[in-house]
Amino acid sequence: MTENFFGTDGIRGKVGSYPITPDFMLRLGWAIGHVFGKTSSGMVLIGKDTRVSGYMFESALQAGLVSSGIDVALLGPMPTPGIAYLTRTLNASGGIVISASHNPYYDNGVKFFSEFGTKLDAGLEAAISKSLEINMEIVASDKIGKVTRVNDASGRYVEFCKSCFPSELNLRGLKIALDCAHGAAYQVAPKVFAELGAEVTSIGVEPDGYNINSSVGSTRPEALSALVIESKSDLGIALDGDGDRLIMIDRNGEVVDGDEILYVIALSKLKKGTLEGGVVGTQMTNFGIEEAFKRLDVPFFRAPVGDRYVLEQLMDHKWKLGGEASGHILCLDLVSTGDAIVSSLQVLAGCLSLDKSLDQIMKGLNKFPQHIINVPYDGGFKVDPMETFSGAIREVESKIGEKGRVILRPSGTEPVIRVMVEGQDQSQVIDLAEQLAKFVENECNKTV
């Protein structure tokens, strides 16, 4: 039976632990070339974030690719959405991202884009997994692929991001605090906002190979919140390590998550008459967001957690806007995948066109108290945790009432089970989430 190495967002794990090893990446490069070579003779792009292990895996992947006869173009450190954009505009057969996104430096992984700048479909992932079982056969010497470097990659992407901001607007007079997580966007993001006219104060722009996402970035917004207050900025923008996830901070230092970002963008587009259809969220989207869209008469649909599932539902509904609370926002009228810089520009454009600050726009939104706890668990799940812990879930649901929700799910990117409780009473929500998480943790410890 063919082993499937792909999770919800490519292949990811701890560096040095199979399959995140140089020998596997060599074979993976060859397998990708073997699959892509059947349908196209074009090149494959490789970009990465700032992890020290990225150099090692870049070399292994490119060796595997060229040994299968595929040409390779290296992009260097580049945000994931930038690689998607360049894959499409440079007419490449595919794009490879070496990154573990918001994870710490000792993790790494590989994500893939099709020639259209979209994530690979399940059929291509299955074909690559199957090719990993085949013995590597190196092409003849005169068929070996060539390796080049795209020297103006970051400049191309900067110009693209700027083109996604309305030409009749600018950021002059706006003070922005920016956190690039010591990650892939550390060069391009400050340029985008500064060249649009903003006064930018940046942190997380000094990567050393080991500090990516360390106490900075979209998963650790405390540093940016403090910077917004200290610098008296109008707002803050926090990216994750590979630049596809966005969390914002209002001028009062309060966190604005992906649900709220989705609301701001939708509200702005609705006012301008450019919201095409409705909005797609996920099972984790706050119920207050759903109610807000209902009041605005905007159709709303919940997809399973994961931006690939949000994308699938957007395509099915022929809508353009969707996202997750974690900060993955899809603006399909502009990009083919989640793009933190482009999404933040849509929020900024919305604030300017509505003539309101971010916190003022948030006053029209009443979110339900929601508490999420990550329970460490590295044993894998053969069945749905919602089924495994159905009795405990029903007990919590009976206490929080009709407008409460309980969701348990294994993370697709980390060795944890996410326990989410949502309701109308904050203290009750926190208590019930902690009780349920403790129960889940105890049960999981029995199985490992």
Residue 121 has pLDDT above 90, yes or no: no
At 240-295, the pLDDT tens digits run 999 999 999 999 999 999 999 999 999 999 999 999 999 999 999 999 999 999 99
CB of 258 within 8 A of CB of 329?
yes
How many Cβ atoms are within 10 Å of 208's Cβ, its own excluded?
A: 11
At 318-356, the pLDDT tens digits run 999 999 999 999 999 999 999 999 999 999 999 999 999
Q: Phi and psi at residue 199, in whole multiples of 5°? A: -90, 115
At 384-429, the pLDDT tens digits run 777 888 899 999 999 998 888 999 988 877 788 999 999 999 999 9
CA-wise closest residue to 190 among 182, 180, 181:
180
At 19-30, the pLDDT tens digits run 999 999 999 999
- The DSSP bridge partners found for residue 10 are 7
pLDDT given at position 41:
63
Which of 6-10, 70-74, 241-245, 439-443 has the least mean pLDDT?
6-10
Rounded CA-CA distance 310/317 in Å is 11
Better pLDDT: 4 or 261: 261
- Annotated catalytic residue: which of 53, 68, 101, 326? 101
pLDDT given at position 6:
87
Rounded CA-CA distance 131/144 in Å is 19
Establish whether domains 11-151 and 157-362 are of one fold.
yes
Better pLDDT: 442 or 319: 319
Burial of 287 (0-12, 13-18, 19+ CB in 10 A): middle
CATH of 11-151, one of 3.40.50.2000, 3.40.50.720, 3.30.70.870, 3.40.120.10: 3.40.120.10
Contacts of 385 (CB under 8 A, 6+ apart): 408, 409, 410, 417, 440
At 188-246, the pLDDT tens digits run 999 999 999 999 999 999 999 999 999 999 999 999 999 999 999 999 999 999 999 99
Contacts of 13 (CB under 8 A, 6+ apart): 19, 20, 107, 108, 109
CA-wise closest residue to 179 among 199, 165, 158, 200:
200
Q: How many residues does the chain have?
A: 448
Residue 109 has pLDDT above 80, yes or no: yes
At 57-98, the pLDDT tens digits run 999 999 999 999 999 999 999 999 999 999 999 999 999 999
How many Cβ atoms are within 10 Å of 266's Cβ, its own excluded?
A: 24
pLDDT given at position 247:
98
CATH of 157-362, one of 2.40.110.10, 3.30.70.2740, 3.40.120.10, 3.30.9.10: 3.40.120.10
Percent of the chain clearing pLDDT 70 (strictly above): 97
At 125-137, the pLDDT tens digits run 999 999 999 999 9
pLDDT given at position 308:
87
The domain spans of the chain are 11-151, 157-362, 370-445
Residue 382 has pLDDT above 70, yes or no: no
For helices 80-89 and 153-163, angle between their N-to-C axes, nearest 10 degrees: 90
pTM summary value: 0.92
Q: Phi and psi at residue 122, in whole multiples of 5°? A: -60, -30
At 152-200, the pLDDT tens digits run 999 999 999 999 999 999 999 999 999 999 999 999 999 999 999 999 9
CATH code for the part of the protein at 370-445: 3.30.310.50
Is 101 known to be catalytic?
Answer: yes
Residue 377 has pLDDT above 70, yes or no: yes
